[in-house]
């Protein structure tokens, strides 16, 4: 199709895997902080095993977008 990245098409990946850095061009990616996500999930499971009557809780794990070469800069207004 003769499209260029990021000239014609911007690409964004999810989870900021090592492949995002090793690809060409390097992929912009959302880093969901998988380690912290796992820690929070394990803590919640343990709490619910120890106290089955606990209500469900919502925890927001911070995330960031790691900008690399696969996304074009925003267009000027």
What is the rounded distance in angstroms from the CA atom of residue 31 to the CA atom of residue 66? 7
pLDDT at 77: 58
Q: Which residues contact 40 (CB under 8 A, 6 or more apart)?
A: 59, 61
Tens-level pLDDT at each residue, the chain (77 residues): 898 999 999 999 999 999 999 999 999 999 999 999 999 999 999 999 999 999 988 999 999 999 999 998 877 65
The angle formed by the CA atoms of residues 73, 76 and 77, to the nearest 5 degrees, is 140
Contact call for residues 68 and 20 (beta carbons, < 8 A): yes
Q: Does the pTM of the predicted model rise above 0.75?
A: no
Using DSSP's 3-state secondary structure scheme, residue 13 falls into strand
């Amino acid at each position: 199709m003769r499209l260029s990245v990021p000239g014609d098409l911007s690409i964004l990946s999810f989870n900021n895997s090592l492949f995002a850095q090793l690809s060409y061009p390097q992929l912009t990616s959302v880093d969901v902080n998988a380690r912290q996500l796992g820690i929070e999930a394990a803590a919640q499971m343990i709490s619910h095993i120890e106290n089955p009557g606990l209500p469900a809780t919502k925890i927001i794990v911070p995330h960031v977008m790691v900008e690399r070469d696969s996304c074009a800069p925003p267009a000027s207004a």
